[in-house]
A and B are shown apart, each in its own frame.
Chain A
Amino acid sequence: MSDTRSRQQAYWRETRILTAVLFLLWGAASFLPGWFADELNEVVFFGWPLGFYMVGQGSLIVFLLIVAVYDFSMTRIERRYGLHHEE
């Protein structure tokens, strides 16, 4: 029982670390391009001013990647702790 308990605690610790890392990444992708838009707009990226591109498309791609990485990593963590059941 206590073994299950400590295993669950370790699982939760890893989940929290993953969540925190991806959360920070979300914050960066959401707010940094908007804050530095003027500076980024000096750079041209396939015709777009980079600031415009990031806020209108780049950050959105980062969001998609974050959610995909979360799903993938959580499945791996679950498997490692024996909490994963094939469907």
Chain B
Amino acid sequence: MSFPSPFLPRLGRYYVLYALGFLALVVALASAEQMGMTQRWIGQIFLFATIAIYAAIGVMSRTSDVSEYYVAGRRVPALFNGMATAADWMSAASFIGLAGTLYYSGFVGLAFVTGWTGGYVLVALLLAPFLRKFGQFTIPDFLGARYEGHFARLVGVLAAVLASFVYVVAQIYGVGLITSRFIGIEFEIGVFVGLAGILVCSFLGGMRAVTWTQVAQYLILIVAYLVPVAILSYKVTGVPVPQLVYGEVLRDLGVKELELFSEPRENDVRSQYRYRAEEYARKIEDLPASLADERVAQSERIMELRTEGASARDVAAAERALRDLPRTPEEARLKWERTRQESLAKTVPPVHHAEAHPGETPEARESARRNFLALAFVLMVGTAGLPHILMRYYTTPSVRQARRSVFWSLFFIFLLYVTAPAYAVFAKWEIYSRLIGTNIGDLPNWVASWSRVGLVKIEDINGDGILQLAELTLNSDAILLLFPEIAGLPYVVSGLVAAGGLAAALSTADGLLLTISHALSHDLYYKMINPQASTQRRLVITKSQLLVVAVIAAWVASLRPDSILFMVGLAFSIAASAFFPALVLGIFWRRANKWGAVAGMLAGLASTLYYIVRTHPFFGGSMADAWFDIHPISCGIFGVPVGFTVIAIVSLLTPPPSAEVQALVDFIRLPDEALRTRGRPNDGT
């Protein structure tokens, strides 16, 4: 496959044209909105137009060449690989979830911001150039070659599939959420619409198609992320660069927080919630008698309303309340306990946004600090171990380009992560200064429309007709989607944000699906089961695996597993403890051998999983058994050192690797030399 030499300028021209076309679409929709186009239409046009663009790129990039299908022909320039990696990396969780997390947890949430960027330093220094020099197709490929044999490769396949699958389910779930909310279809159907969007990109063209759609998706997602907050920043401060000026807003917010948290009405609302929590505690204690009492009281109330001749609406509400009562004492215990916890959470004012490591006691503050650093560590090392990211550095033309493309990746990712804290601060500022303290009757329209879908909740618990902070509940995932409306921007901006969220989820899902299907078809089938398979057969197997995995993932997502965020956190710990030590030692320590690597990977993985089961309630564990108070999401902090230590000890106790492997290590440590564009002469194709 040859390509003309002015590849880069031509690519640049295509994407400039594409960006201009997209801007024209946004402007056209904005003016259509002024002329009275409905919100539903705007949302639908945005989502379908962008999916159609991705599909067109996917179809144009179809290929049946193995090197094209697995590594995009290794001719993706550094800048474009940087954009593709950024889109691959930034998932629905980063795009939709991060701003909300930062809104609620302030400083504590910044562990995600440092954690999800710092890992790229590890990728740049320790992995990307060497993996590119090695120049095969997958991460298990490297493990198999460096650690001589199928066993290391198999462990690699297992960990890659495990880490990527939980992650891909979360993406498809995100796609379902966005399509169902903005197009107005059922969640389950939205999941399968999203699935179709994912498959048109990856199915026909593999890595080649995914790369070029990811570049297109990056452009949309970054514009969608930056535009709303830049407009609001301009409105509030007069400077449209929120990243530079949100410090000032944060300072004003700090003053506002002091004022708001000590207000008498807020105190009143908080004590009302305390009474409610106590009431529920009593009710839970008196089960099952309290449930029967409740039922009698509700029935009596309905009778009373009827005899009083109350309005039909009040009677219907009372009847619904009776119907919604828990059926069994066990159900009541669960439901009431949840209410009690929710009320309890509202009895204390939120933490101050900028306060580091909040806690009541010095011990609690110490524990918060340990957890903050542990989470940042796990996210960084996990980034450097996620196969769908590392795999992208196989696609550049040279080692040098791989090195440079890590810089571009980090730069493009940086743009989003440095903006997320500004989002949280501006959203909080708008809510605290404009929404809180207004009459409940005069709230803006979005409050009612988002209440209907259950993402915003308002309860005037003290009955004063004015909204207090503790009376407002915002779903953390909704904050970003709501942001344009909070800021009072036209609906076209909301549509843009939805298209950006969709791009983020689709691009990550594509990269993950490729990783899984490559691990299964290339490593498991071709390298281990049937090395004689023809090129054509290998591609058929890859494509069918892709289809099967995608459908299974969509099916799992449509069951709406509620522990999805926790599973994504788990993927980082798995990647960190299973891959990182074996990859790094494989490059930097010649003496590391196959027994060490296999033992280390399994030990790292096992200790991570053991800690999760020990401490996470999902598996029946409890934080009482935690070590150093570390939360289960950061379990990789134990798995990574275990992995390194076990590899070192077991390698030293067993014979060194063969001369051939030592030569391979020498080979990957050197830069390009004469074999540049195509890696090693025996490049598999």
> Which residue numbers of A lie inside 8 Å of B, CB to CB?
8, 11-12, 15-16, 19, 22-23, 26, 29-31, 34-35, 37-38, 41, 44-49, 51-53, 55-57, 59-60, 63-64, 66-68, 70-71, 74-75, 78, 83-85, 87
Contacts and interface: CB of A to CB of B under 8 A. Distances in A.
**What secondary structure prevails in chain A residues at the interface with B?**
helix
Interface residues of B, number: 54
Interface in B669-685: 669-674, 676
A29 B410 CA distance: 15
Nearest to A48: B247
Given A34-B373, A34-B376, A55-B107, A67 B120 contact: yes
B121 A8 contact: no
A23 B114 contact: no
A56 B113 contact: yes
B400 A57 contact: no
Contacts of B179: none
Residue of A34, A48, A71, A74 with most partner-chain B CB within 10 A: A34
Given A29-B118, A41-B354, A47-B250, A35 B369 contact: yes
A70 B124 CA distance: 8
Contacts of B107: 37, 51-52, 55
B670 A60 contact: no
B114 A30 contact: yes
A22 B121 CA distance: 9
A64 B410 contact: yes
Given A55-B113, A67-B406, A74-B403, A46 B380 contact: no
B414 A59 contact: no
B676 A60 contact: no
Given A19-B126, A34-B369, A60 B247 contact: no
A67 B124 contact: yes
22 contacts: A12-B669, A22-B125, A26-B118, A30-B380, A34-B111, A34-B114, A35-B369, A37-B356, A51-B107, A51-B356, A52-B107, A55-B114, A56-B421, A60-B414, A64-B410, A66-B124, A66-B125, A70-B124, A70-B403, A71-B124, A85-B673, A87-B401
Given A56-B113, A64-B411, A31 B373 contact: yes
Nearest to A82: B673
B669 A56 contact: no
B400 to A, nearest CB: 7
A40 to B, nearest CB: 8
B507 interface: no
A8 B117 CA distance: 32
Interface of B: 107, 110-111, 113-114, 117-118, 120-122, 124-126, 129, 243, 245, 247-251, 354-357, 369, 372-373, 376-377, 380, 397-398, 400-401, 403-404, 406-407, 410-411, 414, 417-418, 421, 588, 666, 669-674, 676
Contacts of B120: 63, 67
Given A60-B414, A83-B670, A85-B672, A38 B121 contact: no
A26 B122 contact: yes
A22 to B, nearest CB: 6
A18 to B, nearest CB: 9
A66 to B, nearest CB: 5
Contacts of B674: 85
Contacts of A66: 121, 124-125
Contacts of A71: 124, 403-404, 406-407
A85 B676 contact: yes
Given A52-B356, A55-B107, A78-B671, A87 B114 contact: no
Name the 8 nearest CB pairs between A and B, nearest first: A47-B247, A37-B356, A48-B247, A47-B248, A55-B110, A56-B421, A26-B121, A67-B124
A67 B247 contact: no
B354 A49 contact: yes
A63 B121 contact: yes
Contacts of A38: 356-357
A22 B158 CA distance: 32
B247 A45 contact: yes
A11 B672 CA distance: 13
Contacts of B243: 57
A8 B666 contact: yes
A87 B670 contact: no
Given A15-B669, A30-B376, A67-B406, A57 B418 contact: yes
A8 B418 CA distance: 40
Nearest to A83: B671
A56 B418 CA distance: 7
A60 B397 contact: no
Contacts of A60: 113-114, 117, 414, 417-418
A85 B676 CA distance: 9
Contacts of A23: 125-126
A29 B121 CA distance: 11
Given A55-B107, A83-B670, A47 B118 contact: no
A64 B121 CA distance: 8
A48 B242 CA distance: 13
Nearest to A78: B671
B250 A30 contact: no
Contacts of A12: 669-670
Nearest to B116: A60
A48 to B, nearest CB: 4
Contacts of B380: 30
Contacts of A63: 117-118, 120-121, 410, 414
Contacts of B400: 74-75, 78, 84, 87
A87 B157 CA distance: 35
A34 B110 CA distance: 9
Contacts of B414: 60, 63-64
Contact of A59 (B114, B124, B666, B671): B114
Contacts of B377: 30-31
Nearest to A15: B669
Nearest to A85: B672
